[in-house]
Structure 1
């Protein structure tokens, strides 16, 4: 009996030793893998800005979100074990996915491009020309150069995989993500465009990419629809409803009849359109053409992008502005739609 107990004890100890050994082996493999580059194939150049006062946690978040490191924990552990955690510097860095973790840490301790930073904000629903005008007026870009750069996706296609899904020669209309950005005073037009495309890429991978096959639509169709939703919806809670109306119309082969597409053609956001204006010849005019326009009509924000690929489960085919707060009345048939229109 005593011998059996000893054997059980020895077996238990052996199991514990084996489990610990496996855990150590697994951790070592993970640690070694985390030190290696993200890819050994084609490198992806990534510009990253580390703001002044960033903690090691913030820096690890930025590196991980930009696909430069495999493990935030290993990055912090390696920096601390190398006694450089407190020496990581703010600045703008040009890194790439072929760099191993120690090379990235070395770059961050040397310091990146420094200088005074400035901020600019691009509102949701801005068109490409409006973005160029705003940045030019604020002294951040040369308008002609900015327009030239953004007029053809080929200028940035080698850096952004999602741009390869667009039509040949298509502009970046709709893909310059509206947000508030911090840039260095000496930032070039290319740097600013890249920043905006970086932000779009993040939203695309997080909220859009996995929904495209499910809805059987292309990226360009999703962003085009999102841009119309952005311009038509005034209240965030209604964006999925507006999206549903357009999805339902597309499914039924109905024209979208979006005033926003006509306003895009006219280059003027008129509150009321004449009948003649709704007949303006253009492939972007959804009053005379079935389906979606060839491309986006503005830069949609994240909520409109999400709504475009997540329409509400409703049967609505019409909506009309009825509330002073920008809310609409949604209906399933033309008669109810006409009755819902505010009386003049």
Structure 2
């Protein structure tokens, strides 16, 4: 897909799940189930995938683990089989040398853009951050990433985002600070930059619907959050695609706002909000395990698992909101997705 085509798709507004990592009981890559997850997302009607991101577990980059390239390759192979165009996004991490190398690998594997995490530069100055982003943007189109500090991100002020929006090869920003004030910093910075070619995506898994239905106005300028790039959308994905379509095409109604509350309540269970998001990846794995897509909850870090009371919370939201799950859809197609 040409560079201009993927940018056009981003601006249409897409449902983009953050792709989990399928491991076996030995905490080794389960290639069959990794491919099955990708097939599930594509069959659900997503507009793209984000691989090698927080939900995929950043430690896949550890040389002793060595899963960054294999996992990106598997996803790229499955996306190449799709009959409809997909935006291929992969995470970029680390200090500048590492980040530039990862950007080059993404180009090699046919990815369209890099989701740029700044977690490794927690103490860097704003000037250093901007120089880092510019270096990566010289290699591949960049999607900015405001990751909440509780899971490894850092506070990034309005002044940073205003300068970031002036980097020519920035194509989108994923806003995931889980904070209204910080989300508005990003939106205002993009609006005041005059850049209409930067697509705004929610990563605020705690306020998905409100982000998607709110018109943001500053003077005569109005912008919308057009889509979502979300860890939450790695589960119950068929319903997530339907939800985005409703937010894009329906007038805001009490029913839609009520649905938004239910999605947020479900996210609190899946992401283990009660325990400071300690079980946020394991919670997603638990939903996929129940559906038979994953064999277990295993993460690369053996200490990373469900938080106290999290299983009860997942049971609660499953019972409270049966209309939000896509279990029947998965059951119908799972064996096909799991084929070798």
> What range describes the TM-score normalised by the shorter chain of this pair?
under 0.3
- Tell me the TM-score normalized by structure 1: 0.27
Which of structures 1 and 2 has the bigger CA Rg? 1
- Tell me the TM-score normalized by structure 2: 0.27
Task: Tell me which of the two structures has the higher relative contact order, counting C-alpha pairs closer than 8 angstroms and 6 or more residues apart.
Answer: 2
| Structure with more of its chain in strand, by fraction | 2
